[in-house]
Structure 1
Amino acid sequence: MNAALTGKTALVTGGTSGIGLAVVRRFVEEGAHVVVTGRRRAQLDAVAAELGDAVTTVQADASDPAQVNALFEAVAGRGTGLHAVHVNAGGGEFKPLAEVSAQDIDTAFATNVRGTILTVQGALPFLGEGAAIVVTGSTAGSGTEKDFGLYGASKAAVATLTRTWAAELAPRGIRINTVVPGPTETPGLTGLAPGNEAGLLAAIAAGLPFGRVLRPEEVAATVLFLVSDQSSGMTGGEVFVDGGSTIA
């Protein structure tokens, strides 16, 4: 059976660790050439060393218009267009309302909202009929977890944008969906408790129906599904890969 992405070109932003890196690896396994972005050159070099000619790495901050333009100049240089895009670059601070600063607001929305808009805008000229985009959302976008209000608001905005864009892009035959991971064992999660990573994961797992956090590869499998022909009837949706965390 042919691999799902044989001969296709994909873009993964924020693809040097965690879910993004798992997606890059899965796309390569499925036959794609993957353009990978990240903010840190050393991490990009590690991805290139691991995956070789199957990837093109571009150092870029998704919230910086000039760097996003440079990214798509590199995409244009390949001359292959884009068949799949995973908009995964993002992040945020987690603080109670009383401690949120104006800079925190600007940073959260620049990283998660402006970065997503600029990336999808930049990709549009390279996408043809049958192409698919997946945006990484968060259960915080519809949750009530304390200290996650600002981050959740930015991710809720991303989900709204995705639904709107689905209607705009449908006449071009382009699909876009949001994947919504639950607690996943990534550097972004374990970094919340330096020196007590195992304790943090165990505490989170204790409150989940499966009794464990997710693996990045589980989310990557869903991203692959959403960019493949297997999901050809899906657009504008939010697909939860959360280990049941929203029902816990």
Structure 2
Amino acid sequence: MPTIVVTGGGTGIGKAIAQQLAHDGTDVVVTGRRRDVLDDTAAALGGAVRAVELDATDPSAVRTFAAQIGRVDVLVNNAGGNTDFDHPAPVGLDEVARAWRRNLDSNLISAVLMTEALLPAMTTGAAIISIGSIAADKGAGSYGAAKAGLASWNIDLARRVGDAGITANIVSPGYIGETEFFRDALDDTSVESMVEAIITKRAGTPTDIAQTVAFLASPHARQITAQTFAVNGGEHPSR
């Protein structure tokens, strides 16, 4: 039975990814810090999804999880988010250092720890997909820097695992509605302004990201690695 691990899988993009990847004969494991949210997601998505409470920034917890999970066919490093929304603006160097470390831990170190821990369990043809952000290109303080670091790390990771037939890619969302990301901090005017900057003139959805992840995890994408895929409706074009 193929095993898929989705970190931060209790809500939003992570939940949509778990739903997209769950089907008969697949074991989807969603991890996160909030037990109640994880249990609700597992119940909503049915028997193909199981929940494991896990802090992906804690090496000891990640080590224990890796020892118990067995074979892994797909790892989706989705855990993260802008931790600045949960704390007041830093004042003084000590608070600045703590603020930067929170975002680096949440968005970069979590992915590194989960990947390093689960690599020995990954099979030939496995896929590692990490969720980046448009902020890596547009800039957003420590959060944007952490996501830029994630994309850079992914290139080195792809080189390391390529000989084993494992791919490593980044999916980089733009503005996604229907998530907890902004913690209800956006008013209607802010939302309208963000949507206006998008060529498709709509907010992205968690399903948009989930479908891209599903393709990169599929047998159809085995020659695609070390890439960053922007899913932002053209808000930040590239060529």
TM-score above 0.5, yes or no = yes
Say yes or no: does 1:159 pair with 2:151: yes
Aligned residue for 2:97?
A: 102
1:155 & 1:141 partners in 2: Cα distance? 5
Deviation at 1:247, TM superposition (A): 3.3
**% identical aligned pairs:** 33
> Secondary structure of the equivalent of 2:42?
helix
1:83 & 1:28 partners in 2: Cα distance? 13
Aligned residue for 2:112?
A: 117
Is 157-166 or 178-187 further displaced after alignment?
178-187
Say yes or no: does 1:174 pair with 2:166: yes
> Secondary structure of the equivalent of 1:91?
coil
Deviation at 1:98, TM superposition (A): 7.7
Amino acid in the other structure paired with 2:43: A
- RMSD of equivalent CA atoms: 2.1
8 A Cα contact 2:62 2:113, kept in partner: yes
**Structure 1 unaligned residues grouped into runs of 5+:** 1-6
Q: How many residues align?
A: 233
Aligned residue for 1:26?
A: 20
> Secondary structure of the equivalent of 1:63?
coil
Amino acid in the other structure paired with 1:27: L
Amino acid in the other structure paired with 1:151: Y
1:47 & 1:179 partners in 2: Cα distance? 22
Aligned residue for 1:3?
A: none
Q: Could you say if the C-alpha distance between residues 151 and 190 of structure 1 is closer, same or farther in structure 2, counting changes exceeding 3 Å?
A: closer
1:204 & 1:218 partners in 2: Cα distance? 17
1:190 & 1:117 partners in 2: Cα distance? 24
Q: Following TM superposition, where does structure 1 have runs of at least 4 consecutive aligned residues deviating by more than 2 angstroms?
A: 29-32, 94-100, 186-190, 198-203
2:224 & 2:24 partners in 1: Cα distance? 20
Aligned residue for 2:39?
A: 45
> Secondary structure of the equivalent of 1:183?
coil
8 A Cα contact 2:81 2:181, kept in partner: no
Aligned residue for 2:51?
A: 57
2:112 & 2:80 partners in 1: Cα distance? 12
> Secondary structure of the equivalent of 1:11?
strand
1:97 & 1:103 partners in 2: Cα distance? 8
8 A Cα contact 1:193 1:200, kept in partner: no
Say yes or no: does 1:188 pair with 2:188: no
2:200 & 2:171 partners in 1: Cα distance? 19
1:90 & 1:237 partners in 2: Cα distance? 20
8 A Cα contact 2:198 2:232, kept in partner: no
2:109 & 2:7 partners in 1: Cα distance? 13
8 A Cα contact 1:190 1:200, kept in partner: no
Amino acid in the other structure paired with 1:101: V
Deviation at 1:30, TM superposition (A): 7.1
Is 96-105 or 175-184 further displaced after alignment?
96-105
8 A Cα contact 1:38 1:61, kept in partner: yes
Aligned residue for 2:199?
A: 209
> Secondary structure of the equivalent of 2:62?
helix
Amino acid in the other structure paired with 1:62: A
**TM-score (norm: length of structure 1):** 0.87
Match of 2:138 among 134, 143, 155: 143
Deviation at 1:112, TM superposition (A): 1.3
8 A Cα contact 1:36 1:58, kept in partner: yes
1:29 & 1:183 partners in 2: Cα distance? 28
Match of 1:242 among 223, 232, 236: 232
